Amino acid sequence: MSLFRLDSSILGEASTSRAVADTAEKAWSRTHPSGRIVRRDLVASPIAVQDWTSAVSAGFVPADQRTEEQTRAVALATSLVDELLDAEAYLLAVPLYNYGVSQHVKAWIDLLLTDSRLRDAAEPPLAGRPAALVTTRGGGYGPGTPREGWDHATPYYRRIFGDRFGLDLHVSEVELTLAESNPAMAPLRDQARQELAAGHSSAEKHGELLAHHALTRTP
């Protein structure tokens, strides 16, 4: 059994999305103690925007006429998709930055979609496989808040991972992650702690769900 884990927070060990994803990973590992975990940290090993440009342009020329950059970008896209296809379950930790998708995650997704296996298949090859999405937000974006409707990342992730890739997606959301470090958010700290506790609880359940769902799919 193998779990693919994606991290994209720029905060390293201080990252809430990483910590909550750790909870999901531990829950998965309890069922698969000898399971393989494939990790891709998009901050430690970022995908260059130019790779996407090169991979797209490579699709318009014969393989034997591609530049070195195009050939390398296509090979990278192939390896990234192989990485996904080889896994039985997925754990995706993706914080909200500047009201939208992290540039690290967007570059990765864009490159994935240059590969015909994900771009053109009538039936997505990942369809039905279980995935836990951990998304974190520094402020509050719920109904009635000043920033209601400003989270443009979570709907995108649902579309890409759920609708486009066909993953059986389970989402854990945590808000107010900046409350402890931002004096202006001090009145929200109790609520932030409740949000965090609920996020860990949700992630644990989703980690267990990934494990059992993946088992039922294994021949």
Q: What is the mean pLDDT of each run of 10 residues along the chain (219 residues)?
A: 96 95 97 93 96 97 96 98 97 97 97 94 92 97 94 97 96 97 96 97 96 68
pLDDT at res. 62? 96
Number of domains composing the chain: 1
pLDDT at res. 63? 95
Distance CA 109, CA 90 (A): 14
- What amino acid is encoded at 51 in this protein? D
pLDDT at res. 134? 98
pLDDT at res. 213? 80
Q: The whole model's pTM is what?
A: 0.94
pLDDT at res. 122? 82
| Structural domain boundaries, residue 20 | 2-217
Q: What is the DSSP letter of 1?
A: -
What CATH number has the domain bearing residue 148?
3.40.50.360
List the beta bridge partners of residue 37.
3
Distance CA 155, CA 146 (A): 19
pLDDT at res. 219? 46
